[in-house]
Amino acid sequence: MAPAAQTVFDKELAQSGIRSSSIDGFEVELLSGLTDLNDKYRVRNIIGRGGNSTIVQAWDQELGRDVALKILKDKFKKNEKVSQRFVNEAAIMGRMQHPGIMPVYDLGRIGENDICYSMPIVHGDTLRDLVSKQDRKSLLKIFLATCKTLAYAHEKHIIHRDIKPENIMVDEYGRVLLLDWGLAKNLDEEEAPYETLLDAGSRFEGADDVRLTMNGEISGTPAYMAPEQALGLAKRTSKNTDIFAMGIILYELLYGYNPFAGEDSKNFRLIFNDIKNVTPTFSKRGVNRKVIPQGLIEICRRCLLKIPGHRYRDAGELSFAVDEYLTKSKKKTVRWLILGCSLFALCASMSTFGYVESATHELGDYKVKVVNRDLQMCCMLLSSKEPSIDALKIVKMKLMEHKYDLQKADQKNLDFMFRQLSILAQKGNLVAIELLGTLNQGV
């Protein structure tokens, strides 16, 4: 290669042992329209390596900022399909505008056909890193955020096909990002229809990690493939395919292990066999022997059904199910908290009553103190925008108990109760309407 033609990539990374090469006369039609980025970026250092690409840190000389350049590896440049897929990845990411998807700044070439695209540099932890550091509630929030990002892609008729914990990141600002769209597929476009497992199996044997992405007609990561992916049925991959991968991730969050691949398993044929034929077990207890609610188990079970049409239709439907579960769980927790406070207040009131009765009987005003204390408790129970049924029952009990002594109560407490019960009555709350009548009779 002549010095004048030496690429920026060559100049900066020669010491790292990674060098660019020309396509040796092999012309890929898709390259002809790509932008020449030689004068825009100055490459600094390698920050990551993927299956078919190298990610480097580069300086954007026009805007004065650091960016990440993803550059196709030399050995794939002669493969038109891989080259096209690399360009498609940038195009798909650039087309989607969502906080959970990395934006693409540029797509083009550096030097002699070093295909690359640029994006922001992000710092954070992958879901794989966070599994052992965060509790189930926090992990489920990350899972839900990923579902919502994937739901956006599904609305655009785009499926990811390589969802795994390593491709889910929480950045330094707390944003949940779904990364690596290299195997993404636009459902509106055609793709090679079929490849048998026997034809493709040799490509998988002997690989180092079941979590590494495999390219070819069997596309994805073996430990997170759906049955239709493991069979090489490219035309059968759909939104349901992503749902299966999300189900495996949810299973790992709940139970701490992959349902189809052991930690040390590297036999892809066995993994594929389990994905196609084995139904995972769903015990009541998961990580650290913690009880798993039945609602979560049912969500996970439906994601992992073998027949695509029996799973959730898309990530939007899955998002709704998970969101609904988390919302109900939160409401249930608040309801129990209110009930606990109510019972505590009731016990405190009864104890106070006993104390006042014995200590102030001679003074003759203990009844006034008891009425006011109990009405203060009622005010506390009614201070919520939507008091629970249990809270209203306690208020009713106290009003009936002091029905003939309400004239002795503090007027501020009575006014507050009138105001709160009136608001509830306007909303059609029958118990509140009954309590207003009791108050009116007593006063």
Confidence check: pLDDT of 23 > 90: no
- How many angstroms separate the CA atoms of 102 and 55, rounded? 14
Read off the tokens for 368. 């006034």
Read off the tokens for 363. 């003074």
Higher pLDDT, 107 or 212: 107
Q: Taking the CA of residue 355 as centre, how many other CA atoms within 13 Å lie in the half-sphere pointing to its CB?
A: 8
Tell me what the mean pLDDT of segment 392-409 comes to.
81
Higher pLDDT, 236 or 313: 313
**Amino acid 213: pLDDT:** 55
The pTM assigned to this predicted structure is: 0.66
CATH of domain 3-119: 3.30.200.20
Q: In what order do the strands lie in the sheet with 65-72?
A: 35-36, 106-110, 114-119, 65-72, 53-60, 41-49
Count of other CB atoms within 10 angstroms of residue 142:
21
Render pLDDT for 97-147 as a digit per residue (tens, 0 to 9).
999 999 999 999 887 668 899 999 999 999 999 999 999 999 999 999 999
Rounded to the nearest 5 degrees, what angle is found at the Cα of 190, between the Cα atoms of 105 and 215? 65
**Amino acid 362: pLDDT:** 43
Identify whether the C-beta of residue 229 lies closer than 8 Å to the C-beta of residue 242. Answer: no
Q: Which amino acid is at 409?
A: A
CATH of domain 124-313: 1.10.510.10
10: confidence class by pLDDT, cuts 50, 70, 90: very low
Identify whether the C-beta of residue 263 lies closer than 8 Å to the C-beta of residue 332. Answer: no
Render pLDDT for 40-63 as a digit per residue (tens, 0 to 9).
999 889 988 877 888 999 999 999
Confidence check: pLDDT of 216 > 70: no
Tell me which residue of 318, 84, 294, 331 sits closest to 186, measured CA to CA.
Answer: 84
Q: Which amino acid is at 170?
A: V
Confidence check: pLDDT of 28 > 90: no
- How many angstroms separate the CA atoms of 268 and 111, rounded? 38
Phi and psi at residue 339, in whole multiples of 5°? -60, -40
Higher pLDDT, 7 or 414: 414
**Amino acid 190: pLDDT:** 66
433: confidence class by pLDDT, cuts 50, 70, 90: confident
- How many angstroms separate the CA atoms of 372 and 395, rounded? 13
End-to-end CA distance of the chain: 99
- How many angstroms separate the CA atoms of 324 and 296, rounded? 11
Share of residues in the chain with pLDDT > 70 (%) = 75
196: confidence class by pLDDT, cuts 50, 70, 90: very low
The chain-wide mean pLDDT, for the chain, equals 79
Identify whether the C-beta of residue 195 lies closer than 8 Å to the C-beta of residue 220. Answer: no
**Amino acid 431: pLDDT:** 84
Tell me which residue of 6, 75, 65 sits closest to 41, measured CA to CA.
Answer: 65
